[in-house]
Structure 1
Amino acid sequence: METESWVIFKTKPSAEGWEDRKLQPSGSLTGILSEERWYSDRLPKAGDRLRQYENLESPGQGVSHGSDSDWLVTNVAVFEDDSQPYRIVVCDCDYSPVERKWEELGSVDLSKATDEYLTEIGLKPDQFDQVRNRESVGV
């Protein structure tokens, strides 16, 4: 059974783009780049990059393309307690610009998706049937 992971990607508060990283609703500055829930045994590792998603045809209308971002994972710390059903993963990141190579995101027929794929995209096993039947799972 996969463990739920709360994955936090962070950098130094004064790193590139610091003016735009603010906690809501307080507006306090933060070094947090992204927080994600992962339901997979796979964890980030040094050398991975954060992904960036945009709709290149209709900005603000969902996503159509993905690309590696300018943030490179340099260190990963995992915090686990056997008495808890989750772990916390903190990824330190450095700003390391790359040339954008946008990839179009294709549509996937989730009605035929494997359990492994659904887990990899962040779904819990109790959501699989709903997704395969095209019901909303509130993710």
Structure 2
Amino acid sequence: MAAVDRAKIDTSKPSMRGCTTLSLAARTIFEVDREVLREVQKIAPDGVQAGRQCRDWLIRVVRHLAGQAGIDQFLDLGSGLPSAENTHQEAQRINPEARVVYFDIDASVVAHGRALLVDNEHTHFELGDMRKPAEIHFLGGVARKR
């Protein structure tokens, strides 16, 4: 896997990565993200609950696809940082050989994701922009950035 450009990781600015991760009760976030989430909760107090409902929906869909539909490859674009339940965890509970590739535009997400999943040979994190789908392709059953 290509190295993540650590120069692109800026922990002084809030990001969707941190706010979304925090709303899912994860611990790998930065104080600046906590500040933004507190402000968001002032105007959208149900925002955290909505985020959790979206994650619950994702898990139900992955469970159905990996189980009843027999899908064994998953591509998660704009995945964010692994936090609570994730695509790879649910898919691999049902099929331990299921392959999952996460793509995110945030270099810190990719760096943390790779570190968390270093021992999972069927799950990969790639730096990529889902607004540029032509840059994403599959190679040997694993998605890679072109």
Task: Say whether the fold is shared (TM-score over 0.5).
Answer: no
Higher strand share: 1
Q: Normalising by structure 1, what TM-score?
A: 0.24
Q: Normalising by structure 2, what TM-score?
A: 0.23
Higher helix share: 2
Q: State the structure with more CA Rg.
A: 1
